[in-house]
Amino acid sequence: MSSRWHRLGLPTLIFAACLIPLVPVALVPLPPLLDYPNHLARLWLIAGGATGTPLEHVYAVDWSLAWVNIGIDLVALVLGPVLGADAVGRICIALAMLLPALGFVLLGRVMAKQWHPLLLLGPVLTMNSLLALGFLNHQIAVGLALLFAAGDTAWRAGAMAKFVPRAIAGALISIVHPFGAFALATILASLAMGQERPIRAAFVHAVSRAIMAGSPAFIGGLALAAAAPHLPGGDPRTTAVAWVYSWGHKLVGLLAGVVSYDPAMEFGLALILGWLVFLAVRRSRLRLHAGLLAGILGCITLVVALPSNIGDASQVEMRLGALALTLAALALLPGSAAGLAGAPVLAFLSILIFARTGYITYFWREGSRDIAAVEEVLAFLPRGTSLLSLQTAYGPQSAGLRIYGAWSPALHFPTRAVPLRQAFVPTLFSAAGKQPLRVLRPWASISVPEGGLPEPHFLLIPTHPMINQYFVYLADWRERFGYILLLNADGTDMPVPGVALVADRGFARLYRIMPATVEQ
């Protein structure tokens, strides 16, 4: 290819490819990202949506509650009053997709000192399990870590000169999400070890360089955490199961960077890409960055060693697994053999980006139908009431779209009642240390900072110890709530007496809880 193509054409194509995955954001108003509806309800409150409604006596925005994990909350604070929560939500999804792709491209360009087609792996990997789970702050923070690492690598200065900027970056990225500081420390440490595998005495120097490069970002994140009045995991209302360890979760986590909705299809794609990389390395068309390989090994070691949940931080192995895959893609550098920058590789990866974008759009459209059904029945919900939500066959057996073949994205659909009907929902995200949202009394006693949805038959035994532990709001539910929203309702009957059907849209049904005197 001509030098003009390498200077202008190839980078233009690569940056344009980073925008292609944003197409479904424009086409699907409310994508079925697991946590997103819950986040959107909080963004609406931060943007001032509750002002003048009954909810201003239920929820209060309190910025002293959380100093980390608040990236999208800050976006809502600045832009929400002007653009509205829905527009802010779309912007945050776009940032969660765009920043990791741009950070990957720029860091890969600085590392290789040239533009090459493998940089297109950045927009491919941005559509992964963590995005499908709605971990927007996590994705944005990882993107910021990649972008800072690109600037840090391009800046030819010593480790001491970079210490303070790296520490500041670690602290600022932790505000968005603490994992971003860990990702930055890991990336910088891996790059500092060098491209070539250190031999014997050089290994000690390489490790020293890695510690000097990665520790400032880690220290910056810890300093911010130490100063915060509340840390994640400190909410006394939490129902999260801490220190869960599962080998099944470990295996799942290693594929988090490539799987989103259909594990079988996407795992097959990962095998094909892995085989092509193996052949390219074997034929010297690719060379590997030894320092990044060490970072991958470190991430995999932590996947095995750490529990799946630490406090109320969940899916630990998925976060580490996705980072390991990002490091693996960055570790692929053009080799000495000619042809890597040729049309076949460029065409293959470009087609893959378009195909994966269409794939995501399809699943988002499918999931949005269920969200539409929920919104249609919520139109019959009186404003300012309290809503109890249930889900039949919760888990892998549930009908409809599933994330990673396991999670039903309907888990947080009921929180649409907050902005649409100004209703109290007990599962709105409000964990001290993670969200700047306080549930006011007396509602705080029947709210949980995060949690699942009970099944209908749980209402018949609300005092069962396990049910009472995880669904504290079910005790005296007839007196506490006015209506019930049932999800995955197709072909099922409500086993609970004393409720009257108000609206039915197949996937979702709305019931009114009848007063005890009427029931009798």
Residue 54: what pLDDT? 92
- Of the pLDDT bands very low, low, confident and very high (cuts 50, 70, 90), residue 226 is confident
Does the pLDDT of residue 60 top 60, yes or no?
yes
Judge residue 155's burial from the number of C-beta atoms within 10 Å of its C-beta, 0-12 exposed, 13-18 middle, 19 or more buried: exposed
Mean pLDDT value of segment 53-69 = 93
The domain limits of the chain are 371-519
Give dist(CA 67, CA 486) in Å, integer: 35
Mean pLDDT of 259-287: 82
* Lookup: tokens for 291: 């320092």
Alpha helices in 379-501 (DSSP H): 417-421, 465-470, 477-480
Beta strands (DSSP E) in 34-129 are: 59-61
Q: Which of 185, 191, 193, 192 is nearest to 215 (CA)?
A: 185
- Strands 483-487 and 387-391, sheet pairing: parallel
Distance of alpha carbon 308 from alpha carbon 248, whole angstroms? 10
Determine the pLDDT at residue 377. Answer: 97
pLDDT of residue 235 exceeding 80:
no
Q: Which of 18, 11, 17, 114 is nearest to 333 (CA)?
A: 114
Residue 380, pLDDT above cutoff 50: yes
Query: Tell me: the pLDDT tens digits for 383-433?
Result: 999 999 999 875 444 556 888 777 888 999 999 999 999 999 999 999 988
Per-residue pLDDT tens over the stretch 439-477 = 999 999 899 988 789 999 898 887 777 777 788 899 889
Candidate ranges 9-18, 259-268, 340-349; pick with highest mean pLDDT: 9-18
Q: Is residue 483 pLDDT above 70, yes or no?
A: yes
Output 127 or 76, whichever has higher pLDDT.
76
CB 98, CB 162: distance < 8 Å: no
pLDDT of residue 396: 46
DSSP 336-401: SSTTTTSHHHHHHHHHHHHHHHHHHHHHHHHHHHHHHHHHHHHTTSPTT-BEEEEETT-STTSSS-
Output DSSP code: residue 229: S
Residue 339: the pLDDT is 45
Distance CA 478, CA 112 (A): 64
Q: b or e along 65-83 (b: 16 or more beta carbons within 10 Å of the residue's beta carbon)?
A: bbbbbbbbbebbbebbeeb
Mean pLDDT of 186-212: 88
Kindly report the three-state secondary structure assignment for every residue of 187-208: HHHHHHCCCCCCCCHHHHHHHH
